[in-house]
A and B are shown apart, each in its own frame.
Chain A
Amino acid sequence: MKSKIAERILNSTPKDVEIYVRLYADLVVRITDILKEKQMTQKALAENLGKQPSEIHKWLSGDHNFTLRSLAKLQAELGEEIIYIPQKVIYTHYIEGGVKTMHMTVVKNSAKPSIDTLYIESTPQPLADVI
């Protein structure tokens, strides 16, 4: 069951808007999670980055424009990857009578897995199915 009005608006939403909104939420949640995991306060992060705590508060609660440079600084200080860029890799598969080369794009980042996903991923599968 879902709102027909919401469905209509969502269907007319440009894809880039949806992608941006989801990326933005991913960034906010990722940075907040890393700070929690490392038990790092915004004040400590500010000291380590040589900035005022008020400036870091802006970074994390709203009044900062994330740029690649600010994300790089955050990533360096937090010691955890915040964003991933997918890279294309070449995979060579040997078959009878020749070599088959495949190009694959490896995407590392994804939404935090749910308990259900973890269960599915931990279920052993035959190698042939995985390939």
Chain B
Amino acid sequence: MNIFELKIWDDERSKCTFYTVQWIDTEISETDKFLIRYETSHSDAIQQLLSFILKAVGEDHGAVDALFNRFENEVVGLPNKGNARLGEFKYHYPEFPLRLYALKITDNIVVLFDGGVKDGPTNQASSLQGKWQEACHFAKRILEEIRDKNIQVDEYNKLLTNHLGESEIII
């Protein structure tokens, strides 16, 4: 109860390893729950968001500050702030319908949580509130474990390990 695993979600990108969290009594990670929940109703947004995370961050730049700039207490909301128009293509990131919450450990290690639809001016005033609070809770506990050295940050290999140097991290 209230125990979760911090596990690798994607470690096949050159610039960043992505972790996720999964309640110990469930079969699916919080980030995969988010994808499944919105892959049909918000398919375009999910595709953009996933390209942003796995391609732009994972393969091109890492989790640099310019791309992780939507600070919301302990977590950041993805995608980053910003929009752009190139020729006929126009994307409105400020009006982007979805938010996925994340915790940046380093430029090369990121933990992804759950998220939802941004349907209000603030997290508190939208249906995201519960997911945002939950993400902040996960993030606080992970940061505490890092501070207490129960989780080791291996920047060279872009990995997190437990205090024994093993990949299994239960919190």
Binding site for B on A (CB under 8 A): 1-3, 5-6, 9-10, 12-14, 16-18, 20-29, 32-33, 61-68, 111-112, 114
Contact = CB atoms under 8 A, between A and B. Distances in A.
Given A16-B89, A65-B85, A25 B61 contact: yes
Contact of A10 (B50, B89, B91): B50
20 contacts: A1-B10, A3-B20, A6-B54, A9-B39, A10-B54, A16-B89, A21-B51, A22-B51, A25-B52, A25-B60, A25-B80, A26-B60, A28-B66, A28-B67, A28-B82, A28-B84, A29-B61, A29-B64, A61-B81, A62-B81
Give 10 nearest A-B pairs by CB, closest first. Answer: A25-B56, A65-B85, A62-B81, A32-B66, A13-B47, A62-B82, A21-B51, A2-B10, A66-B84, A18-B51
**Highest count of chain B CB atoms <10 Å: which of A21, A28, A33:** A21
A1 B12 contact: yes
B14 A3 contact: no
Contacts of A33: 66
Contacts of A28: 66-67, 80, 82, 84
Contacts of A66: 84-86
- Tell me if B's interface is mostly helix, strand, loop or mixed: mixed
A121 B10 CA distance: 28
A67 B87 CA distance: 7
Contact of A12 (B15, B20, B47, B67): B47
Contacts of B87: 68
A20 B86 contact: yes
A46 to B, nearest CB: 18
B163 interface: no
Contacts of A20: 86, 89, 91
Contacts of A10: 47, 50-51, 54
